[in-house]
Structure 1
């Protein structure tokens, strides 16, 4: 028996610069429903969007929030072009929404038609580069990446096969920090 009965993600809370712009993007561009709004005592806001299966994506807006720090607190805006996917410890690198595999191409075209810059379809695979040129037997996820108005790196990800096979999917030992640098 497990210690906790975790049933998925209740919500993920991010921070935006402009709540009106965020609501517009997530409702009008991505088609999510706004399901809860909260006014915070400091004048800020906390809004929730339905992302399906009882899960939500939430945003805080703080009147005195610090400026964004791409490459530190989030992925760099040019991450896919440069190959530098690094972000700081404790940061959120990107947010992946689960979508049906057969819809990836259609969703990419819809985003482009709405003026969103989107990557080509990437086939994450068990190959040295991590990406296969085409969907094949090594592919485990096919996806596209794009940014929201605040530079939050988003992904539409579709599982090609179920993950968790110890022979195929669990092949690496977790890295351990060797020394602490101050």
Structure 2
């Protein structure tokens, strides 16, 4: 029997920069950070309803590539906030790369407002809020 969503794994080029982004700007909480035997850095970040498992290989990593339409793969990570507008303004002021400014969600049965930005490695991050 399914209990819950646990985590999603991702690779990044710089762990310090990534932790600063996800914890400092988005509000995730550092659950675990350790060095792996192969020299890579590993963290688990608590997102409230699941975690991100992040690995930074010792040799770095190339910037993420978007998944083209019609290709299977992970398209973006979505985080739920009280206010997309307030969160977007904070991130934009911090110099985060903007992909799509806040707008009403097309799937209004689930979400009210969304926006899209990129993390330091180019991974697409969706900010979302639900109707009250």
Normalised by the size of structure 2, how large is the TM-score? 0.82
Distance 2:70 2:58 in 1: 25
Question: 5+ unaligned residues in a row in structure 2: which ranges?
Answer: none
CA RMSD for the aligned pairs? 2.3
Question: 5+ unaligned residues in a row in structure 1: which ranges?
Answer: 76-84, 127-138, 162-182
User: Any idea what the Cα deviations from partners look like across 1:152-173, whole Å, max 9, x if unmatched?
Assistant: 0001112338xxxxxxxxxxxx
Normalised by the size of structure 1, how large is the TM-score? 0.62
- After the TM superposition, list the runs of 4 or more consecutive aligned residues in structure 1 that deviate by more than 3 angstroms: 64-69
Greater share of strand: 2
Q: Is the 8 A contact 1:116 1:146 kept in 2?
A: yes
User: Any idea what the Cα deviations from partners look like across 1:136-160, whole Å, max 9, x if unmatched?
Assistant: xxx3322011000000000111233
Please report how far the alpha carbon of residue 117 of structure 1 lies from its aligned counterpart in structure 2 after TM superposition: 3.3
Partner of 2:33: 37
In 2 relative to 1, CA 160–149 (structure 1 residues): closer, same or farther, beyond 3 Å? same
In 2 relative to 1, CA 87–29 (structure 1 residues): closer, same or farther, beyond 3 Å? farther
The alignment covers a number of residue pairs equal to 129
Partner of 1:92: 74
Q: Which has the larger radius of gyration?
A: 1
